[in-house]
Amino acid sequence: MLTIEQATYDAIVAHAKRDHPDEACGIVAGPEGSDRPERHVEMVNAAGSPTFYEFDSTDLFALYKEMDDRDEEPVVVYHSHTATEAYPSRTDIGLAQEPHAHYVLVSTREHGNNDGPVEFRSYRILDGEVTEEEVTVVDRLDPVRSA
C-alpha cells in the first residue's frame, strides 16, 4: 500500500495537468527504508514527449547525489500517461529499475490541462511483474516514532 499526503498527491496531479499533453515525471523522496514519501521533486521530462519520459542524465545525477547526502531514496517514482490509462506500459515495465519504489501513474487523458478528476494509481514493478496496490491519501503522514 502507498500512503501519501494530500498535499503531495495534489502537487503530482497539478504537475501532470500542467505538462499535459507531454508526460510529466518526478519522484517523492523519503528516508531510506522508511517507505515515507516526504519530499516531492518535479523532474524535467528530457524526452519532452506525449508518449515517453526520461530524466535528464545530469539532473538524475544531481538528484541521486542529493538523496544520498540526505540518506534518502526514491519512495515514489511517478509519471503521467496523457492519452491512455494509468497502467504501466510495456516500456514502463521494461525500464522499471527501482525495486523499492512505488511506481505511481497519473492519467490526464480525460481532462487534460483542466480541472477534473484524474486516475491516480500505484504499482510495484519487480522483475517484469506488475502488482497494483491501494493508495491511501492522508492529511499528514504519521509522525516519525522516536526511539
Q: Which residues bind other proteins (CB under 8 A)?
A: 23, 25, 27, 43, 47, 49-55, 57-58, 60-61, 64-65, 73-74, 77, 79, 81-84, 88-92, 94-100
**Residue 2 vs 63, nearer CB to other proteins:** 63
> Closest approach of Cβ 131 to other proteins, in Å?
16
**Residue 6 vs 91, nearer CB to other proteins:** 91
Q: What distance lies between CA 37 and its chain's CA centroid?
A: 10
Q: Smallest Cα–Cα separation from 19: which of 48, 59, 55? A: 48
Q: What distance lies between CA 6 and its chain's CA centroid?
A: 14
CA distances from residue 104 to 43, 70, 79, 81 in whole angstroms, order as listed: 14, 23, 7, 11
**Residue 32 vs 137, nearer CB to other proteins:** 32
